[in-house]
Amino acid sequence: MKITMRTCAATFGVSVLAAVSAGCGVSEPVPEHTALAGENATTYPLVVENCGQEVTFDAAPQRVVSLDQGSTEILLSLGLEERMVGTASWTDPVRENLAQANDGVPRLADEAPTYEVVLDTDPDFVTASFGRHFAQGGVAERSRFADTAIGTYLSPTDCEGETSINAGGTRTEPLTIDGLYQEIRELARIFDVPSRGEELVDELETRRQEALAGVDAADTSTAFWFADLKSPYVAGGPGAANILATEVGASNVFADLDDDWPATTWEVFVDRDPDVIVLGDLSRERAPGDRLQEKIDFLRTDPVTRDLTAVREERFISLHGAEMNPSIRMIDGLEALAEGLRSFEETQ
C-alpha cells in the first residue's frame, strides 16, 4: 500500500496554521522547522518503507500524535516536543531527562485513545510502537488515517514484513536492537533532523557498551515476569526482554517459548527455577501484581513459589515495564540488569 502524506504546512503554508484551514482546523502557529546547523537536511518528498506500506512525506510533519510511550520518548529525545500534539498508552513515568519537554505535550489518554480523540488534535502524522493501535478494534486502521491524509508509522521492532507482532503476528526471527536504531533514524529523517538521530543512536550504543563492560553472567539463569499473579506473563525467546538476558550472557529459562510475552503457570515457573527473577514494576496498575512490591509479596508467601531459589536468596532485579519493551528504555533496563547481577556477584 502506498500512502502519500501532505502535512498542513506543506499544503497551506505554515503561516496559515493560525487560521481555519480545510482539513487543518484551528491551531496555534507552529515554528517553521529547519535542520540543525551542520545537519544533512532531508530531501523531500521522502519515501519510507514501513511494515509493508510505502509512506511518502512531502515535508516534515508539523503535528504528531504518539500512541505509545516508546515512540513518545524517541520523539522527545530528538527534540521534537514542539511538534507533538498528543501522547497515549503510558506504562511508566516519562524518563527523567525528558520530563520538562514532556510537560508541554498533551496526554490524550493513559491507555489507548479513541480515533475521535486523536482526530480532535488535528494531527498530520501518527506514530505507534505497537501494531494493536492500527488493527481492527484498536484506535484505527492505517488506511482510515490515510483516507484523511494523515500519515502513520509503526515501529520496525513490531514488524516482520507486513505483519505486526503485537497485532497477532508471530516472530520468526528474534528481535535485535537494530530495529530500535532503525526506528530512531527513520523518525529523525522524517522530521528532518537526521544528525540528531545519529547522535541518539551513538549515545545509546555507548551506554550499552559501558553497561556490558565486565559483566559475565554465563552461569546465571533468569526469568522476566512482566505481569499477572494467576498466569504470569514471562519473557519468551523472540522479544525485547530476552535481548537483555543474552546481552549480559545470561540464559532466559523461557527462551524456548515463541511469543514475546507468553503466559505460563506457576508450576512451570517453579520447575524451571531461575537463579534470578527480573520483576516488572508497572505504574499503570491495571491489575493486582502490576507493582513491584505486590510481586515480591506474592512470591514470598505463595506456597508454590516461596521455595524458588531466587525467592529464598532474594535475587530480584526490578525494571520498569518500559525497560522491557523495545524502546530507548531498553538501555536503562540493560544498565539496571547488569548492575543487579554485579551486586549479586559481590555478595557471593
Domains in the chain: boundaries:
2-206, 216-347
90 confidence band (pLDDT: 50, 70, 90): very high
Which residue type does 113 have? Answer: P
Would you call 55 helix, strand, or coil by DSSP? strand
Task: State yes or no: pLDDT of 287 exceeds 90.
Answer: no
Q: What is the pLDDT of residue 339?
A: 96
In terms of CATH architecture, what is 2-206? 3-Layer(aba) Sandwich (3.40)
Residue-wise pLDDT for 193-224, tens only, equals: 999 999 999 999 999 999 999 898 999 999 99
Domains 2-206 and 216-347 share a fold: yes
In terms of CATH architecture, what is 216-347? 3-Layer(aba) Sandwich (3.40)
Residue 231, all three cell numbers = 498466569
Residue 141, all three cell numbers = 486502521
Q: What is the pLDDT of residue 3?
A: 52
Residue whose C-alpha is closest to residue 107's, from 162, 54, 68: 68
Mean pLDDT throughout 115-143? Answer: 97
Q: How far apart are CA 5 and CA 54, in angstroms?
A: 10
Please provide the average confidence, as pLDDT, over all residues in the chain.
89
